[in-house]
Structure 1
Amino acid sequence: MSHAMANPLQDGRRARSLNVRDYLRVYGIDDLHRRGLTGEGVTVVVPAIDTYQDSDLDRFRKRNGLPPFDIFEVGEASSDIALGEVPMDLQIIHAVAPRARLVVAHWPLSARDNPQTIDRVARRFPGVVWSWSIGWCEEGDPGLAREAATVLARTVARGAIHFAASGDSAGYDCYPSGKLFDPPRKSFIGLIMPASAPAVTAVGGTRVLADRRGNLLKETPWYRSVTLSGSGGGSSQVFDGRTVPDVAGDADPATGMGFFLNGEMYAAGGTSASAPLWAGLGALVEQALREQGVKREGDFNSLLARIATAAPEAFRHPRVGSNAVAVAENGRDQVTGWGAPNAPALVEAAVEVSR
């Protein structure tokens, strides 16, 4: 069964959230907006197993001086209740890429339907950015994982970019259905799809500490051992040589961006908060490449690797910290990947290494 990766209601309402202005400043995204990079002309698909309220989106954009949302929906909703996942994703993407077009793709609950649904939506919207905050254990059905990975790779070959939450249980992300609150066991260690698919950019989590003006003071891996919550990561048992995550961003509900749900404000949390951050940033990268007349070659992960070599300053990589299965290391690791974005340097490097 496909499930949402984050529960922003878990402790997000008790947390002090970052306002949008400070959230954007932490990553330098406000600087990109001043340069005219807003996601104009780029489409972002959001697979959804819950829904959203227009009133929440309208309140969010008015409070933060953002343009109206441009949303198109496909498919039939699995639920008519706004549980928090989709509203959070839409508001984060809109904050980062306020001129991007958003497609809410209502998703089936059965993971068995995922390959066909991916293919159907991708044929309708080829070569776009995707923001995945739902997932399923890769080892639950390795054949299904490989089938979905093949479809995902085919969409990437046609120009798509997929950003997927790496999981919120610090590497113990393959708990059986109904066992989420059981004591952790080694059998729960594992990765989730679609993040573990080689063609997908898996997004892990960090904890951000910023001052009252939104200036970054410190960024560390997101991990709380008491609750076994944190950045999903590790080595795939289905895809040889694949390790997760590739990148990371703010995912701690104690430091997340404020968003509206059912008329109240919550702090965004989980790697389903960092995945839409990167999806929005991916939209800015795509706009910058198009405006510079540059064609992106290969998948986004290969682009990230080239950027890491040519411009390591494009990433803020925590070198101290861990999740439950790995420790932070120099270079790409299984806690935060290459690290969190320094957005202006990342976009500039993406253009330069693609020339």
Structure 2
Amino acid sequence: MENQSTHQLSGSYLPPKSSETLQQSGKDEVIEVSVRLNRKKALPSPAPAGALLSRPDYETQYGADAAAAELVETFAHSHGLTTVDIDLARRTIQLKGTVSEFEAAFNVQLMTNGSYRLLNGAIHIPESLKDIIAGVFGLDNKPIARPMFQVAKKDGKVVSHAAAPQAFTPVELAALYDFPTGVSGKGQCIAIIELGGGFRNKDITQYFNGLSLHAPNVKAISVDNAKNSPGTADGADGEVMLDIEVAGAVAPGAKIAVYFAPNTDKGFLDAITKAIHDTTNKPSVISISWGSAELNWTPQALDNFNESFKTAAALGITICIASGDSGSRDGETDGKVHVDFPASSPYVLACGGTRLTVDNNTLTSEVVWHDADDSASGGGVSDYFALPDYQANAGVPLSISTKFKGRGLPDVAGDADPDTGYKVLVDGQEMVIGGTSAVAPLMAGLIALLNEKTKSPAGFINPKIYANPSICRDITGGDNKTTSAKTGYTAGPGWDACSGLGVLSRLS
């Protein structure tokens, strides 16, 4: 294979937004790379109701082909690379070698800005493997996502539970939203993807004791050598503890598996595929509260993540993802609107944000979350993923930026305003946290309850809720227009790009 022609891997390179001083990456640095393989055959989409695949059946029919994987191995070994792992269900081969060996193998130059590696052009693969390799991840290792949580503060100080009478415990919110009672999520596993931070068991025990609940069974799972690494309350621990405490309080009978991965597109994707294909813990729902605007991702990342979510749909796994905390701009400052990925995938439940008003334990009003400082429910129209069939009659507008007929998000919404946020415990400190980060685990907990109640996985629920939008309580007030984007969206009757179809509490 040494002298054969090469093929440029489509969508493997994203030019940097701005110029920065780069130098050649260290040639002898040892790195690991994930090579994603194509399926044996195309996976039908969406998965027909009542025709879910088991994980073994999926691998047999739609996983990677063993002979194809062997061809990739032969190519890799000819360049001095070694095989760390092959997983045909995940369609992933993990390779290890030096920067110089990977540069030679994939005909690419790796640079560094002093903090992380960057590609200096597209990845190339042998012409003979162009129909086998779907993506190559890990040559660059720049941070790809941010957590979608916001801490409530007053005069620059973190607000305690006692100083936030308008905030809620997840148990109180579940009651206000009329979540199912008489079930606890028993027999379910909620997977949570984390790209930093960690949890302390003593915090979990203390928090759930305070709620008069048994602490859930929480298991940390290492992906790509990342570990449960708790730090300080003002870091990523806030995201980790928020996710565990919200999901666990809503569904205390469910097992919680937390997949810790590096904050790179490789780490993120590896964690997702690990969770989907975990035959030990077998998650029925996955909560993700990390992401960034679509324009920050390579097309190969957008496509490979999306195909993984399509796999989850076929297996009956519900994916709940935060839609973003910066309104219509999604953290970008180019004066345009953007939506967040991976929430923009058509195979996930994108979760937007609201603000509650409660009087005497009764919900009196609920509007789109939007603070004056560009903190607001993420939402809009994808510039990459086409409008899915289930949204054909939802009234999704064309993308403001590109006029593309794209997937609209969010799909549903829930309490996200930090001022009416969630009472949590992080590294021994009482905090009130909001953001759409909280809505993803809230919905994941709800799905676990519904799965136990119906004795079957809810799975890919988007077609069902769009076919029967009355099962959601519509949010018709507010907007997510932001100063930086100079435009955005306004809530109204039916689906909108601020709160989706509204608040979900049932599926029938």
**Scaled by the length of structure 1, what TM-score is found?**
0.85
- Contact 2:284-2:457 within 8 A present in 1 as well: no
- The 2-side partners of 1:266 and 1:171 are apart by 27
- The 2-side partners of 1:158 and 1:274 are apart by 23
**Superposed CA offset, 1:17-76 (max 9, x none):** 2245532321113xx23xx21111111001112111222211111111111221111113
Q: Partner residue of 1:180?
A: none
Aligned pair 1:8/2:151, yes or no?
Answer: yes
Tell me the matched-pair count. Answer: 322
Aligned pair 1:237/2:383, yes or no?
Answer: yes
Structure 1 residues 332 and 136: alpha-carbon distance in aligned structure 2, compared to 1, 3 A threshold: same
The structure richer in strand per residue is 2
Q: Partner residue of 1:152?
A: 309
Q: Partner residue of 1:214?
A: 361
The structure showing larger relative contact order (alpha-carbon pairs under 8 Å, at least 6 residues apart) is: 1
For residues 334-353 of structure 1, the aligned pairs below 5 Å read 334-341=497-504, 343=505, 346-347=506-507, 349=508
- Contact 1:126-1:160 within 8 A present in 2 as well: no
Aligned pair 1:28/2:178, yes or no?
Answer: yes
The structure richer in helix per residue is 1
Q: Partner residue of 1:284?
A: 449
The amino acid of 2:230's aligned partner reads D
Q: 1:197 aligns with which of 320, 328, 345?
A: 345
Q: 2:491 aligns with which of 328, 331, 343?
A: 328
The amino acid of 1:159's aligned partner reads G
Shift of 1:197: 0.4
- The 2-side partners of 1:208 and 1:217 are apart by 8
- Contact 1:131-1:275 within 8 A present in 2 as well: yes
Shift of 1:5: 1.3
Shift of 1:117: 3.0
Q: 1:95 aligns with which of 249, 263, 266?
A: 249
Is 94-103 or 255-264 further displaced after alignment?
A: 255-264
Shift of 1:295: 6.5
- The 2-side partners of 1:286 and 1:21 are apart by 18
Shift of 1:114: 2.7
The amino acid of 1:340's aligned partner reads V
- Contact 1:25-1:215 within 8 A present in 2 as well: no
The amino acid of 2:148's aligned partner reads M
**Superposed CA offset, 1:109-168 (max 9, x none):** 112433333222311154520111111322222411122111111122111110000000
Is 75-84 or 236-245 further displaced after alignment?
A: 75-84
- The 1-side partners of 2:242 and 2:457 are apart by 31
**Superposed CA offset, 1:298-348 (max 9, x none):** 72111222331xxx1x3221212111110112111101001013x2xx14x
Matched residue SS, 1:220: strand
- Contact 1:92-1:273 within 8 A present in 2 as well: yes
- Contact 1:245-1:334 within 8 A present in 2 as well: yes
Aligned pair 1:169/2:332, yes or no?
Answer: no
Matched residue SS, 2:492: coil
Q: Which runs of 4+ in 1 moved over 4 A?
A: 9-12
| Unpaired stretches in structure 1, ≥5 consecutive residues | 176-183, 350-355
Matched residue SS, 1:104: strand
Matched residue SS, 1:68: coil
- Contact 1:21-1:214 within 8 A present in 2 as well: no
Shift of 1:287: 1.1
For residues 105-144 of structure 1, the aligned pairs below 5 Å read 105-124=259-278, 125-126=281-282, 128-143=284-299, 144=301
Shift of 1:277: 0.7
Q: Partner residue of 1:41?
A: 187
The amino acid of 2:173's aligned partner reads Y
Q: Partner residue of 1:307?
A: 468
Q: Partner residue of 2:434?
A: 269
Matched residue SS, 1:230: coil
Aligned residues with identical type, % of pairs? 28
**Superposed CA offset, 1:184-235 (max 9, x none):** 4314x31122100000000000001112x421111110011x2101100000
**Superposed CA offset, 1:56-110 (max 9, x none):** 2111111111112211111132743153001011111111111011001002211
Structure 1 residues 106 and 113: alpha-carbon distance in aligned structure 2, compared to 1, 3 A threshold: closer
- Contact 2:351-2:439 within 8 A present in 1 as well: yes
- The 1-side partners of 2:257 and 2:147 are apart by 18
Matched residue SS, 1:67: coil
- The 1-side partners of 2:204 and 2:267 are apart by 29
Larger Rg: 2
- Contact 1:137-1:193 within 8 A present in 2 as well: yes
Matched residue SS, 2:248: helix
Q: Partner residue of 2:231?
A: 81
Matched residue SS, 1:268: strand
| Unpaired stretches in structure 2, ≥5 consecutive residues | 1-143, 388-406, 482-487
- The 2-side partners of 1:168 and 1:279 are apart by 19
The amino acid of 1:332's aligned partner reads W
The amino acid of 1:269's aligned partner reads G
The amino acid of 1:234's aligned partner reads G
- Contact 1:127-1:161 within 8 A present in 2 as well: no
- The 1-side partners of 2:175 and 2:267 are apart by 39
Q: Partner residue of 2:57?
A: none
Matched residue SS, 2:295: helix
Structure 1 residues 303 and 71: alpha-carbon distance in aligned structure 2, compared to 1, 3 A threshold: same
Q: Partner residue of 1:250?
A: 415
Matched residue SS, 1:229: coil
Matched residue SS, 1:318: coil
- The 2-side partners of 1:126 and 1:152 are apart by 15
Is 258-267 or 157-166 further displaced after alignment?
A: 258-267
- The 2-side partners of 1:97 and 1:117 are apart by 22
